[in-house]
């Protein structure tokens, strides 16, 4: 039998990144501060994980101004959606194999 561990996505092994992707897959666009509240993490922590996901092109960033304040919104990409789904399948397989 194939080893399900091989299908796990290294980038998504971080729980914060996994949580960011979970929020983005259920919502069509989410902004930085709302994401920070949802996850309960610090600015720096969130920013560094978002950067990692952006580098993989798992999410896209759009910057705009709302009432003269900068507003940064994130969206999951098709590539990110596929990677998340694959990682989720692998997680389930790993857990199932142990039972």
What does the binding site for another protein look like in residue numbers (CB under 8 A)?
5, 13, 15, 18-19, 22-23, 25-27, 30-31, 34, 37-40, 88, 91-92, 94-95, 98
Q: How far is the CB of 65 from another protein (least distance, A)?
A: 19
Question: What single string gives the DSSP state of each residue in the chain?
Answer: ---GGGGS-GGGGSHHHHHHHHHHHHSS-EEHHHHHHHHT--HHHHHHHHHHHHHTTSEEEEEEEETTEEEEEEEE-HHHHHHHHHHHHHHHHHHHHH-
Q: How far is the CB of 7 from another protein (least distance, A)?
A: 12
Q: How far is the CB of 49 from another protein (least distance, A)?
A: 13
């Amino acid at each position: 039998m194939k080893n399900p561990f091989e299908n796990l996505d290294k980038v998504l092994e971080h729980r914060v990144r996994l949580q960011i992707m979970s929020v983005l897959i259920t919502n069509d666009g989410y902004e930085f501060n709302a994401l920070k509240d949802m996850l309960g993490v610090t600015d720096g922590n969130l920013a560094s994980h978002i950067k990692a996901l952006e580098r993989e092109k798992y999410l896209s960033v759009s910057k705009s101004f709302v009432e003269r304040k900068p507003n940064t919104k994130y969206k999951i990409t098709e590539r990110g959606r596929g990677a998340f789904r694959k990682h989720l399948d692998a997680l389930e397989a790993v857990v199932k194999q142990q039972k």
